[in-house]
Amino acid sequence: MKKETKRERFVRIANKRTNEVLYRLRVLGGCANRRMYEFTDKDKKMIFDAIEKEVERVKNLFSKKEDFQL
C-alpha cells in the first residue's frame, strides 16, 4: 500500500473542507428568504464582516513565511 504524500493529503483534505465551507455558505443563503426570516442591514453587515474577517485570516495563513530569521 502506497503511503499518501503531503501533497496528496493536502488535495484530499482541502477539497473536502472547501466543499464543506461552500455548502455551509449556501445553507446560510437560505436565511436571506424574507418570507421566512426578518433581518436588518446591521445583521447582514455583522454576518458578512465576520465571514470576510475569517477569510482574510485564513488567506494570511497560506501566505505566511515559516522561516525563522533574527
12-43 pLDDT tens trace:
999 999 999 999 999 999 999 999 999 999 99
Domain of 31 in residue numbering reads as 6-63
Asked whether residue 48 is assigned to any structural domain, the reply reads yes
Q: Would 44 be classed as within a structural domain? A: yes
pTM for the structure as a whole: 0.81
In a domain? residue 43: yes
Can you tell me whether residue 69 is helix, strand or coil?
coil
* Structural domains counted in the chain: 1
Task: Report yes or no on 15 lying in a domain.
Answer: yes
Cα–Cα distance between 52 and 55 in angstroms, integer?
5
Q: Round the CA-based radius of gyration of the chain to a whole number and report it.
A: 18
Task: Compute the distance between CA of residue 31 and CA of residue 4 in angstroms, rounded to an integer.
Answer: 40
Residue 70 lies inside a defined structural domain of this protein? no
The per-residue DSSP string of 29-61 comes to: HGGG-TTT----HHHHHHHHHHHHHHHHHHHHH
pLDDT at 57 over 80: yes
Which pLDDT value is given to residue 34?
97
